């Protein structure tokens, strides 16, 4: 598919001022090779006065937004597009309170549901696993509470993290909420996100025992290092950045059942941090939005997606 996106916000505002422009863009993204009926696969259609596409073979009526995250949207697509632009192009994202103010939405709940839907579009099913040199660790997010610290902090959310190292630079990132820091959780995370045979550097935690079966496992022990800052510097930098975003954008408040969506959003931004055009991030989210099934507000609140 040819890349087609506005290069900046001025171009975005000029291009998507009208509802029809948004509909045309969605059509192009959904059917880049031309209309295809989702039921019978036929390619010929009539277009109704209500902007519905009627398959000439099976007579099925289809709208451009049906079967996408925009399905049943009551607000104009121009407003949805603007929300998606701010969501995808702002470096630290946008929270529901800010989105409500920017768009003049009637309720906080509407803005919250929109953002949750957009977060489900940040992970692409065909993304390639990490490879080469990889640093892996785990960290904890959550409010302050008395009790144990570190890997025994049961009141906090546990997150597994892995990032590629490309010399002094960092490559792509993966993060996943886990139930605990045992090998039963950490090893499947590595297998599901890192190419077999890659070199994985971890600390001495016993939960990483067994990595050597599928990877080149290198343990970095802080007790044996003269420079403590040199121990897994890449992954520790990522962890500090994630915590800063959670604290800055969401004031450190989140429900644990929604945390994976926030992490997915951060991974999307991090892995595209070198993109020259913010509009490309908008385009990539739009591609996934037209392929993602409709989500009910109830499913979003329950955290079942």
> pLDDT class for 297, splitting at 50, 70, 90?
confident
- Strands, sheet with 53-55, edge to edge from the N-terminal-most edge strand: 45-47, 53-55, 61-62
Residue 202 has pLDDT above 60, yes or no: yes
Domain count of the fold of the chain: 2
- Higher pLDDT pick, 92 / 107: 107
Domain containing residue 113: 9-124+277-302
Distance CA 141, CA 273 (A): 23
Q: What is the reported pTM?
A: 0.88
Of 221, 230, 222, 208, which is closest to residue 138 (Cα–Cα)?
208
Kindly state whether residues 150 and 96 are assigned to the same domain.
no
User: Do 249 and 281 belong to one domain?
Assistant: no
Q: Are residues 118 and 140 in the same domain?
A: no
Q: Is residue 4 part of a domain?
A: no
Same structural domain, 22 and 44: yes
User: Residue 284 CA to chain centroid, in angstroms?
Assistant: 11
d(CA 100, CA 105): 5
Contact of 279 with 89, CB cutoff 8 Å: yes
Task: Pick from 5-9, 89-93, 141-145, 148-152 the range whose average pLDDT is largest.
Answer: 5-9
Q: What is the pLDDT of residue 70?
A: 94
In a domain, 264, yes or no: no
């Amino acid at each position: 598919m040819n890349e087609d996106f506005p290069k900046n916000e001025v171009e975005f505002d000029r291009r998507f001022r009208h509802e029809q422009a948004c509909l045309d863009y969605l059509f192009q993204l959904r059917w880049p090779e031309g209309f295809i009926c989702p039921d019978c696969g036929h390619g010929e259609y009539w277009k109704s006065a209500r902007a519905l596409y009627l398959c000439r073979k099976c007579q099925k009526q289809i709208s451009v937004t049906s079967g996408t995250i925009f399905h049943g949207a009551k607000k104009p697509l121009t407003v949805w597009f603007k929300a998606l632009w701010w969501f995808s192009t702002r470096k630290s994202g946008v929270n529901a309170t800010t989105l409500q103010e920017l768009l003049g939405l009637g309720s906080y709940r509407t803005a919250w549901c929109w953002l949750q839907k957009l977060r489900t579009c940040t992970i692409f099913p065909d993304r390639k696993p990490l490879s080469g040199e990889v640093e892996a660790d785990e960290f904890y997010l959550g409010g302050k509470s008395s009790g144990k610290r570190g890997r025994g902090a049961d009141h906090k959310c546990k997150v597994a993290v892995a990032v590629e190292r490309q010399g002094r630079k960092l490559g792509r990132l993966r993060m996943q909420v886990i139930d605990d820091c045992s090998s039963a959780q950490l090893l499947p995370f590595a297998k599901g996100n890192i190419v077999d045979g890659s070199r994985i550097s971890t600390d001495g935690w016993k939960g990483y025992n067994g990595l050597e079966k599928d990877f080149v496992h290198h343990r970095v022990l802080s007790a044996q290092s003269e420079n403590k800052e040199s121990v897994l510097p890449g992954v520790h930098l990522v962890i500090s950045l994630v915590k800063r975003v959670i604290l800055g954008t969401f004031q450190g408040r989140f429900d644990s059942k929604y945390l994976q969506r926030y992490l997915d959003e951060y991974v999307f931004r991090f892995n595209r941090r070198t993109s020259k055009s913010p509009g490309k991030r908008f385009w990539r989210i739009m591609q996934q939005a037209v392929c993602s099934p409709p989500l009910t507000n109830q499913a979003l609140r329950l955290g079942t997606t």
